[in-house]
Structure 1
Amino acid sequence: MNISSQAISEESIWRHPFILSSGDRPVSIDNFRPAESDHTVLDPKTYEAIEAEKLFATINHTQTEAGRLCLYRSLARPLPDAQVLQMKQDALREIEANQNICEALERYVENGVKSEHELKYLLYGEFVGGLTTDVPAERSGRLEFGGFGYHQYREGTQYVVDRVAAAKTLPQPDSRYLQILFSTLQTFEQTYVYQLMKGPVYLANDKFRTQQEKPRFLPLPRFRPTIFKWVPAVIFIAAIYAIMLFFEILAPELGASYIGYGILLLTVPAFPIVLLAMGASDRDSVIYPLRRLYRQSEDLARLYDALGMLDELLSFHRFRASLQEPVTLPKVLDEPHHLLIVDNAKNPLLIHDHPDYVPNDIVLDTVGRLLIITGPNSGGKTAYCKTIAQLQLLGQIGCYIPATSAQLVPAERIYYQVPDPGQLEAGMGRFGHELKRTREIFFNSTPRSLVVLDELSEGTTFEEKMTLSEYILKGFHQLGASTILVTHNHELCERLQGEGIGRYLQVEFVQEGPTHRMIDGISRVSHAHRVASEIGFSKADVDKHIEQHLSGSSNKTS
């Protein structure tokens, strides 16, 4: 890898927005969930249709809040960058192969778990004053604490200093991804923010200076993150002692020695008031401005991201260990067209509860980039399509997938359209509503897109459905996007097949029912009668009910 490509790779692993918020509220997973006006590879409807939240819960084995946020961001906003994915996979392979690296990372992440919240408390807490430090109280989404923030400042900055120090003990990795993350943690000590966090902090004309910036012989006030200040306390005690000494020694002839004790009784209760005033001053003029500087520091944001990204890698490692199934890291290709080829693929959400889950192969390549799946309901078509989208997503965040082998091209867009009852207020009915969604997908698709369409043009006549479906599918095929259609319309399949367009799979059925295997071909057989019989709504069930109803009515009449 040449120098320029190294530089590009190092910069491209950082994600925006960072998981450390620069505002006055901490980031939550809601900040990364796709929205209509703010999404990347997955739009909100696809995110919901492929059950991405359940997928996150399945693979989430993170130990830290930073790791949880990083993993969620990866899943909700995956990158289409093949180079970054390759680097991430190399890091994961090194963790699997190098026990020394793996154990060191496990210890590093585990040792930071207990104190991680202290940084959050420092950066986003509200300190309401008082001489005590209370446990945080949630009010209107804010964290409120008693005291002036001294405890949170000490613990929050110490957490960062400790993480940097511990990072220096990590073994030197070979993979570029781990090298970047380790370097980010280790070199943070060279930053201005780290020097402020480590302390001491000096105040000079409303600016903060580090130990290195302070002129050697220039006396500057030093910020001490504690409510008890030695210098003011000594001055206060010395002043009281001097007053008492004056009345005790210098004015005995006045018989006024008792005045000193009176002054002592009056001034001692004022000492806590002085402390509270100094605490409020420190909070408003030092702690709040310092933490605002910390929140806006990209160096600190990258450090916190690096902590989370290490935990994310370990989460993938733990996910792999939790499965009793064959897993693989897909071979990531950087090609102009989307591609997904998987051998013995299993659905990541179903394999835990269904150990006998039937695997299927997935082939979406330049030859068969239009895949049409036919077959009756309850045969596994939807599960197969969701498996495709979910495995694409897992592979695209650098995670293992349940399969024996795989290769993929990262998708620029993943779309999954499911039947929608429509919006009455839109004034277009189900047909118009679904066609509008298909239009949205079509005009935003690229040759590196993955599109799943669960039926097309419902709510119209058969002839119109055939015409619309045909030109839409041909359009997707010409665009070059990997497109999957689930349909019962075998006439449409035969028409496209006659023109040499598409690859065709059907649900395999035996006498006992579906095997959940996908086999080549077009299904021309309906199993509606079998399904109706299984749920007790066959023609025989209807006739029997009518007969009983008429018999009952006749008995009542007689």
Structure 2
Amino acid sequence: MSVSEASDSYWSQPSILSGGDRPVRVRDTRPAETDKGVLDAKTFDAIETEQLFNSINHAVTHAGQCVLYRSLARPGTDAAVTREKQDALRELESNPTLHEALRNFIEEMARGEKSLYELLYGTFTGGVAIDNSRAGKGEMEFSGYGYNQFLDGTGFVIDLVETVATLPQPQSAYLRTLFDAIHDFGNSRTYSLMRGPVYPAEGKFRTREEKPRLAFLTRFRPSMFKLFPMLFVLIAVSAALYFFQGVLASFGIGYLGYGILLLAVPVLPVVLIAIAASDRDSVIYPLRKLFKHSPDLARALETLGMIDEILSFHRYSQTFGGKMTLPQILESDRHSLSVTEARNPLLARINPGYVPNDISLDDAGRLLVITGPNSGGKTAYCKTVVQVQLLGQIGCYIPAAGGSLVLAEHIFYQVPDPGHLDEGIGRFGHELKRTREIFFGSTARSLVVLDELSEGTTFEEKMELSEYVLAGFYELGASTLLVTHNHELCERLQDKGIGRYLQGEFLPGGPTFRLIPGVSRVSHADRVAAALGFSKEDVEKHLAKRHL
């Protein structure tokens, strides 16, 4: 796949290079309320995507962290790209020489990356202080005129292009395309302007290749010490000295000419400051505006981040602990997810003894109803499903023994949210509005989790509504998980011959956090209340003390 062919699949929007007055922050790409991508804003929060990012993030460059966060917040749906990312990870596993070279490359780039942002977004306040010193409270505010930032920032980009050319050439299509993208950037006009020389002419800039061979154009040099201006000042001062020496000598006071020369000395710093200010305002600021709006530079920086993201995935698999796998990516008109010994990507990281569960969402069992005791692992299981889906969808390893999945067009997760009641519709109306949004936004390639459904209404209405809503999701073909304590609803759905049923396993010693086939008809609320010190006996003891 050529760079041009990969443009729509590999390089996503929004860009991680800002054309504004500050760099893009890592979390700037989180879904907005109006976004209609794979994740909406409510699902993004409900499935703990921020924590998932923190768990898998081993990127060392700012660009890499931005790309990784964006992958989680705005996952793609191109199965070919996901497979190619997996192939790149397999190549890193089998080729330690390439992995080590890329790791050293990314660490070297991380050391110089900040200099590019300082050039693109810094404010250069002038003065005669050392050029790269901070000038006030602003993180991107510097004394001087931007010469050091220009040299360091463009030097970082030059190092990026030149270093990639020295790396071992990868065999996987994904890494080859990324290498080619940086190589192509090295042939761009933006890179020529950054590498230099640059020739300012009539408010525009010409590269070495664009400069007419016989035209006399002044070359921009990032230093206030310019040969021709300083030579002109020196000649002017010498001419003035020669003139006054001759005139004053006729009056017998020629020695005063040296005093006049001393008075001319302060003119030199003024001239140098004027030259530097002119360079900043007419060359450095306009050039960096071109850089910030350059799609070529944006792609090069993004490519650096994508290499770092792949290395971050590899590092994640090495440090997580336990079984990790790259799931097989299937293509189908319906979503499916099949995983053996899946562990929660967040909980298993801090709990080596985390109980794994299998996941099976296929055409026959695309409606999965989960019942069981309180605190028995139902919600943790649902979050494991969506987090595993999300990791697999972005090309990352998943904590499991094996698996396969179809990329989801949409992932929805509904949780009770009584804290955001709006429009005077109450809890039931608020939850129903969210369910409606999910239903009308779902397709056969969607993954939907409904953690409790229609709680804010009567039992009869809840039964009727839940039944027709779940039947609707089943008819749509979306993979749908329902968490409920309502075993009567399960019986109605079973009568219709739809659904697969799991329950939280519960032994005399408590929940095992393993899900087994069946429908639970008890919630063990008394056990949870006792653990919290709010059982029937606790209430009676409290009341008895009040009457003493």
TM-score grouping bracket, smaller chain normalisation: over 0.9
Identify the range of structure 1 (275-284 vs 510-519) with the bigger mean alpha-carbon deviation: 275-284
Q: 2:94 aligns with which of 64, 79, 97?
A: 97
Q: Could you tell me which residue of structure 1 aligns to residue 476 of structure 2?
A: 479
Q: Unaligned 5+ residue runs, structure 2?
A: none
Identify the range of structure 1 (125-134 vs 381-390) with the bigger mean alpha-carbon deviation: 125-134
Identify the range of structure 1 (399-408 vs 528-537) with the bigger mean alpha-carbon deviation: 528-537
Instruction: Give the CA deviation at 1:424.
Output: 4.5
What is the rounded CA distance, in whole Å, between the counterparts of 1:279 and 1:135 in structure 2?
16
Q: 2:59 aligns with which of 59, 62, 66?
A: 62
2:343 is the alignment partner of 1:342 = no
Q: 1:7 to 1:125 in 2, by over 3 A?
A: closer
The answer (yes or no) to whether the contact 1:337–1:480 under 8 Å persists in 2 is yes
2:250 is the alignment partner of 1:253 = yes
Q: Could you tell me which residue of structure 2 aligns to residue 414 of structure 1?
A: 411
Q: Could you tell me which residue of structure 2 aligns to residue 497 of structure 1?
A: 494
Q: 1:121 aligns with which of 118, 121, 137?
A: 118
What is the rounded CA distance, in whole Å, between the counterparts of 1:10 and 1:233 in structure 2?
48
Deviations 1:187-222 (A, max 9, x none): 222111111111110122221111111122211111
Q: Could you tell me which residue of structure 1 aligns to residue 446 of structure 2?
A: 449
* 3-state SS, counterpart of residue 370 of structure 2: strand
What is the rounded CA distance, in whole Å, between the counterparts of 1:200 and 1:34 in structure 2?
42
Matches within 5 A, 1:15-164: 15-38=12-35, 40-132=37-129, 133-136=131-134, 143-164=140-161
Q: 1:322 aligns with which of 302, 319, 324?
A: 319
Instruction: Give the CA deviation at 1:25.
Output: 2.0
Q: Could you tell me which residue of structure 1 aligns to residue 302 of structure 2?
A: 305
Q: Could you tell me which residue of structure 1 aligns to residue 371 of structure 2?
A: 374
Paired-residue identity, %: 59
Identify the range of structure 1 (239-248 vs 103-112) with the bigger mean alpha-carbon deviation: 239-248
Q: 2:277 aligns with which of 277, 280, 297?
A: 280
2:230 is the alignment partner of 1:233 = yes
* 3-state SS, counterpart of residue 350 of structure 2: coil
Deviations 1:311-332 (A, max 9, x none): 1111111111112210001111
Counterpart AA for 1:104: A
Q: 1:329 to 1:425 in 2, by over 3 A?
A: closer
What is the rounded CA distance, in whole Å, between the counterparts of 1:253 and 1:416 in structure 2?
97
What is the rounded CA distance, in whole Å, between the counterparts of 1:27 and 1:137 in structure 2?
22
What is the rounded CA distance, in whole Å, between the counterparts of 1:539 and 1:109 in structure 2?
60
Counterpart AA for 1:14: W
* 3-state SS, counterpart of residue 503 of structure 2: strand
Q: Could you tell me which residue of structure 2 aligns to residue 526 of structure 1?
A: 523
Q: 1:266 aligns with which of 243, 250, 263?
A: 263
What is the rounded CA distance, in whole Å, between the counterparts of 1:526 and 1:232 in structure 2?
86
Q: 1:499 to 1:165 in 2, by over 3 A?
A: same
* 3-state SS, counterpart of residue 384 of structure 2: helix
Q: Could you tell me which residue of structure 2 aligns to residue 388 of structure 1?
A: 385
Identify the range of structure 1 (77-86 vs 537-546) with the bigger mean alpha-carbon deviation: 537-546
Identify the range of structure 1 (15-24 vs 82-91) with the bigger mean alpha-carbon deviation: 15-24
Instruction: Give the CA deviation at 1:101.
Output: 1.1
* 3-state SS, counterpart of residue 426 of structure 1: coil
2:352 is the alignment partner of 1:352 = no
Q: Unaligned 5+ residue runs, structure 1?
A: 553-558
Q: Could you tell me which residue of structure 2 aligns to residue 224 of structure 1?
A: 221
Q: 2:506 aligns with which of 502, 506, 509?
A: 509
Task: Give the paired residue count.
Answer: 547
What is the rounded CA distance, in whole Å, between the counterparts of 1:534 and 1:357 in structure 2?
21
Once superposed, what is the RMSD of the aligned Cα atoms?
A: 1.7
* 3-state SS, counterpart of residue 106 of structure 1: helix
Q: 1:53 to 1:549 in 2, by over 3 A?
A: same
The answer (yes or no) to whether the contact 1:39–1:77 under 8 Å persists in 2 is no
Counterpart AA for 1:164: V
What is the rounded CA distance, in whole Å, between the counterparts of 1:534 and 1:12 in structure 2?
51
Q: Could you tell me which residue of structure 2 aligns to residue 426 of structure 1?
A: 423
What is the rounded CA distance, in whole Å, between the counterparts of 1:466 and 1:257 in structure 2?
111
Instruction: Give the CA deviation at 1:238.
Output: 2.5
Q: Could you tell me which residue of structure 1 aligns to residue 538 of structure 2?
A: 541
Counterpart AA for 1:36: E
Q: 1:38 to 1:280 in 2, by over 3 A?
A: farther
With the length of structure 1 as denominator, give the TM-score of the two structures. Answer: 0.95
Q: 1:135 to 1:473 in 2, by over 3 A?
A: farther
The answer (yes or no) to whether the contact 1:112–1:163 under 8 Å persists in 2 is yes
2:168 is the alignment partner of 1:174 = no
Deviations 1:13-53 (A, max 9, x none): 01111111122221112320111023521111111111111
What is the rounded CA distance, in whole Å, between the counterparts of 1:375 and 1:21 in structure 2?
49
